[in-house]
Amino acid sequence: MSEDLIIGIAGSGGDGVISAGESLLTAAALEGYHCVMTKSFGSQIRGGEASCRLRLATQPVLNPNGPLDVAVALNWDDFKRFGAELPVEAATIVIYESNTGVAADKLPLPGVKPAVVFSVPITAMAAEHAGTDKAKNIVIAGLIAGWFGIGRESVVAGIRKKFAKKGAEVVEGNVRAFQAGLDFATANPLPQDRKLSTPQSGGQAKLLTDGNDMCAAAAIFAGCTFFGGYPITPSTEIMQFLDREIWKYGGTVLQAEDEIAGIGAVVGASFAGKKAMTATSGPGMSLKTEILGLASLAELPLVCVNVQRGGPSTGMPTKAEQSDLFQAAFSAHGDCLRPVLAPTCVADIFEVTVEAFNLAEYYQTPVIVLSDQEIAQRKETVDPIDTSKFQIIERRHPSGPELTNYARFKLTESGISPISHPGMVGGNYLCAGIEHNEQGRPTASGEMHARMNEKRFNKFNPLKNRRDLFTVEGDSDAPIGMVSWGSVAGVAREALRLAQAEGLQVKLLVPRLLYPVAETVYQDFFASVQRGLFIEQSYQAQLYRIVRMNVDLPTQVKAFAKSGSNPILPSEVLKRLREMVVSIQGNQQHQPEAVQD
Amino acid sequence: MTTLDTSAKPFSLTKFVPGDFKSDLKPIWCPGCGDFGVVTAITRALANIARPPHEIAFVSGIGCSSRIPGYTTAYGFNTVHGRSLPIAQGIKLANPELLVLVASGDGDGFSIGGGHVAHAVRRNIDITYIVMDNQIYGLTKGQLSPTSSRGRKTVTSSFGSLEDPVNPLLYVMGYGASFVAQGTPADMNGLAKIIEEGIRFPGFAFINVQSPCVTYGMEDQQLKAHKTNMKSLEAMGHDASDRAKATELARAYGTELYTGVLYRNPNPPTTYGQGVTERQEAFKKSAVPRHEILNRFKPTN
């Protein structure tokens, strides 16, 4: 039996690779498995190569992980284009289309000799049973269902529903194609039973979605009624979801003429008193920064989601990277602070997005959510979220007395001044990007500028004490500490689990608040640490550097960083953790000699 | 001709005078600046419209002209260079009840922010766009502007400009605007009237104001010259519903100073805001409570 199964399927655009993956994903989710599915495509708009990775497990899994347990190749040229995204090892079960003409002992996988290989006439089976080679995806689903014991009933139910409109003949043809896959698997059993065990959650109803849709749903939940933006990969699905939904809640989506106009309209809507959001990716973020500065100085709430992709410039639009943290923290000119939050998985995007709206409205500030392509576009099972536990914060409006001689930017103790909006009697003021006095009137006074800067910084002081925006997992007094954020935190969490299973004393800090840097959280975490490791998907290890700017870390805290699109695997992290244990032991034996990492 | 009026409340009982819309903030403009006249014309128009100041949002970008919102008692928003139009559209879409005015200049509106004009026009959101066109960058002390004439010598075109100017009237006509007018503070009554008409027009309204720069402007661009040169479209008997004729007259920008309404669409098209409101109304009943939004992610096969 298996507890964790990673399936990779690749072919060309029309092969139904993605729909095969999706029908298995839905089936497994309905059966209570924890699932993660990522998709990858060539750069062609249509056609070209397509692949998906599907991870099904009996325990929660928060990353797609590395080598495949099962590889399905509809043709080898397309399969090989995905390289490290679909790694095949000797233990991988390989299933491939017979009509590729490749002999089972001559697979075009240099240096790898998989022990279990099936050549299956997938196209011929589809044509024979469903009358069309379009049913290849159904045959694949049948093969996987047969060999690994998932989704028999629900895939068939799905077929009946999906093809109902096309008539009984089409339905039955597809059911036969699925059965043919099952029969092939029965007739050609695996050398050992690899059927998935029953999931621990035992069929508990789960949600199944991707990060972009989850982010948009969270915005609706938080009370967002205005979205302005411009299409950009890999964030566009946020705008698409809101365009389908927001009107129902009295809201508006404006597809603007450019990224600047998108966030411009959002600032306008916020000035008018509405909760407003924009979403973009790196190049759009670069364009939006001037208006982020305006919103900071004018103290207007807004949420700006950056679904990170590889950069700089156009970079790698369809690949994840964590290289926009510097930009998020230091975007726009002038002395300024804007909170930056990062979700770690699809479920987390809900909480982080709601939190972003709350912080924006409470502190009257733009808040940046740093998502990334991986969690934004991967589909994942999510345990039901209890929405009643969330508090929704609204901006503080001036009371009646405060509206007499109203001072929009009043220097209060907290630094937060009650905010009016057009339509509110007595709240009239001049909002501006130019420095202002308490009434909002333009000023060139150095003294007033200094006081306003102080106000705009000090109002965020309580934020650094928000320990609930950080999680510490593992042994709290462990000598080895990892820090990881965003989608890579899912890798670190699995590495922690593997390390603990080996008896290593390790802990993991996952910040969801990246900026401002909560100095005391890091100081406390590193107090017990002799060796530390930041794990990040960027060339520079940007969180590592930003934390170092703010906190005196022990010298033996290093970074393990890779440029985007190069998977970081739990096994690689585990290897480093083991080395760190050895290093500590060596250090103890040969003190006071310095240890090189 | 029908003049729909979506901006003024139908039975406003409160009487306003222009002074109700003037703030006590002292303008930074040079004495004799044309913009003094524009703020006067705007406050006169607003007194006639009779919406209280707190129901008005007045948005601008950066430049001499963009200081205007602060000199009124409306909710002002003096934003960043060139982006007043997108910000104003966000305000109007977020709260359609507001009366939204935008002030800009030739540089703010047709150079750095020029890309937004076409989209504001085609989107037809009900806002009034007043551009104070003085053919020079005054705030930064006398550089070439997009409406400066070819050959014009400025501190950034020491040997004369090598490019043709933008024609704001023709551009906006070409983008398909439904209301296009031009005025000058040399004719205060006329300017206040077209601003009022622009505000009352149900949809995007563009008003180009020839507002002289007394410090860096040319002599033939000053109010004195305007008084001699301006030609009233009304006096000429121009039919403002004639789009072709309006376009022809717009071509004379830079050589003739026509004042009044150049074009007013006799059948104003639906505004973006109307479309939004209809859609919101139609979709309202299919909304699930916000806290149930996640139910849509329950997997079904």
pLDDT in tens, B252-287: 999 999 999 999 999 999 999 999 999 999 999 999
Residue B153: DSSP 8-state:
-
Residue B226 has a pLDDT of 97
Kindly state whether residue B43 falls inside one of the protein's structural domains. yes
Average of per-residue pLDDT across B46-60: 98
Cross-chain Cβ contact A422/B284 below 8 Å: no
Q: What SS3 class is residue A195?
A: coil
What pairing do the DSSP bridges indicate for beta strands B231-232 and B205-210?
unpaired
- pLDDT tens string A3-21: 999 999 999 988 889 999 9
Of chain B, the percentage scoring pLDDT greater than 70 comes to 96
- Give domain status of residue B289, yes or no: no
Closest to A424 (Cβ–Cβ): which among B54, B118, B287?
Answer: B54
Q: pLDDT at position A587, please?
A: 80
What is the end-to-end Cα distance of chain B in Å, rounded?
58
For residue A506, name the pLDDT band (cuts at 50, 70, 90).
very high
Neighbours of B192 (CB within 10 A): 24
The answer, yes or no, to whether residue B179 has pLDDT greater than 90, is yes
CB count in 10 Å sphere of residue B278? 12
Name the pLDDT band for B4 (thresholds 50, 70, 90).
very low
Q: Is residue B288 part of a domain?
A: no
Residue A60 forms contact with B (CB below 8 Å): no
The whole-number pLDDT of residue B103 equals: 98
Question: Closest by alpha carbon to A24, among B121, B301, B198?
Answer: B301
Domain that holds residue B109: 18-270
Render pLDDT for A309-343 as a digit per residue (tens, 0 to 9).
999 999 999 899 999 999 999 989 999 999 999 99
pLDDT, chain A, mean: 94
Q: What is the pLDDT of residue A143?
A: 97
Percent share of chain B, pLDDT over 90: 95
pLDDT mean over A441-455: 98
How many whole angstroms separate alpha carbon A418 and alpha carbon A406? 9
Check residue A283 and give its pLDDT: 98
Name the B residues in 107-136 with CB < 8 Å from any A CB.
115-116, 118-119
* Position with higher pLDDT, A213 vs A83: A213
Q: Is residue A167 predicted with pLDDT exceeding 70?
A: yes
Distance separating alpha carbons of residues B15 and A66, to the nearest angstrom? 74
Residue B166 has a pLDDT of 97
pLDDT, average across residues B61-86: 98
pLDDT over 60 (residue B132): yes
Asked whether the domain spanning A209-387 has the same topology as the one spanning A4-187, the reply is no
Give per-residue pLDDT as tens, A390-435: 999 999 999 999 999 999 999 999 999 999 999 999 999 999 999 9
Beta strand A93-97 with A116-120 is: parallel
CATH homologous superfamily of A209-387 equals Thiamin diphosphate (ThDP)-binding fold, Pyr/PP domains (3.40.50.970)
Of B86, B93, B296, the CB nearest to A261: B86
Percent of chain A surpassing pLDDT 90? 85
- Kindly determine whether residue B298 and residue A208, on different chains, have CB atoms separated by under 8 Å: yes
A85 has pLDDT over 90: no
If you average pLDDT over every residue of chain B, what do you get?
95
The residues facing A116 across adjacent strands are A93
Does ipTM top 0.90? yes
pLDDT score for A590: 61
Q: How confident is the model at residue A569 (pLDDT cuts 50, 70, 90)?
A: very high
Q: How many CB pairs under 8 A join A and B?
A: 200
Is residue B6 one of the residues assigned to a domain? no
The residue ranking higher by pLDDT, A161 or B148, is B148
Measured CA to CA, the distance from residue A104 to residue A114 in angstroms comes to 10
> Chain A within 8 Å of B90 (Cβ-Cβ)?
yes
- CATH top-level class for A467-589? alpha beta
First CA to last CA across chain A, in angstroms? 40
Q: Are the C-beta atoms of residues A535 and A580 closer than 8 Å to each other? A: no
pLDDT at A282 over 80: yes
User: Measured between CA atoms, how close is B144 to chain A, in angstroms?
Assistant: 24
Share of chain A above pLDDT 70, in %: 97
Q: Is the pLDDT of residue B6 over 70?
A: no
Least confident among A167-181, A202-216, A218-232: A202-216
Residue B111 and residue B114: Cα distance in Å, rounded?
5
Q: Is the model's pLDDT at B301 over the cut of 90?
A: no
pTM: 0.95
What's the gap in Å between the CA of B196 and the closest CA on chain A? 21
What are the sequence ranges of the domains in chain A? 4-187, 209-387, 396-459, 467-589
Number of domains chain B contains: 1
**More reliable by pLDDT, A464 or A153:** A464
Q: Give contacts of B279 with chain A, Cβ < 8 Å.
A: 247
Cβ–Cβ < 8 Å for A106, A128:
no
Answer yes or no: do B87 and A265 touch at CB < 8 A: yes
Which pLDDT belongs to residue B280? 98
CATH of A4-187, one of 3.40.190.80, 3.40.640.10, 3.20.20.80, 3.40.920.10: 3.40.920.10
Are A26 and B93 inside 8 Å of each other by CB?
Answer: no
CATH of the domain at B194: 3.40.50.970
Measured in angstroms, the CA of A377 and the nearest CA of chain B are apart by 14
User: What residue type is assigned to position B128 of the chain?
Assistant: T
Grade residue B2 by pLDDT with cuts at 50, 70 and 90: very low
Each residue's pLDDT tens digit, A191-214: 988 899 988 766 567 899 999 999
Partner A contacted by B24 (CB < 8 A): no
Alpha carbon distance A94, A108 (integer Å): 12
Q: What is the pLDDT of residue A204?
A: 66
Look at residue B182 and tell me if it is in a domain. Answer: yes
pLDDT classification of B13: cutoffs 50, 70, 90: low
Instruction: Decide if B97 is inside a domain.
Output: yes
- Measured distance CA(A234)–CA(A244) in Å, rounded: 18
What is the CA angle B106-B110-B113, rounded to 5? 115
Question: Taking residues B184-208, what's their average pLDDT?
Answer: 98
Answer whether residue B285 is part of any domain: no
Mean per-residue pLDDT, A97-121? 94
Give B61's contacts in chain A (Cβ within 8 Å).
none
Cβ-defined contact of A254 to B294 (cutoff 8 Å): no
Bridge partner list, A370: A306
The H or E element spanning position A510 is strand A506-511
Q: What is the per-residue pLDDT for A472?
A: 98
CB contact under 8 A, A431 and B55: no
Average pLDDT of the residues in B102-113: 97
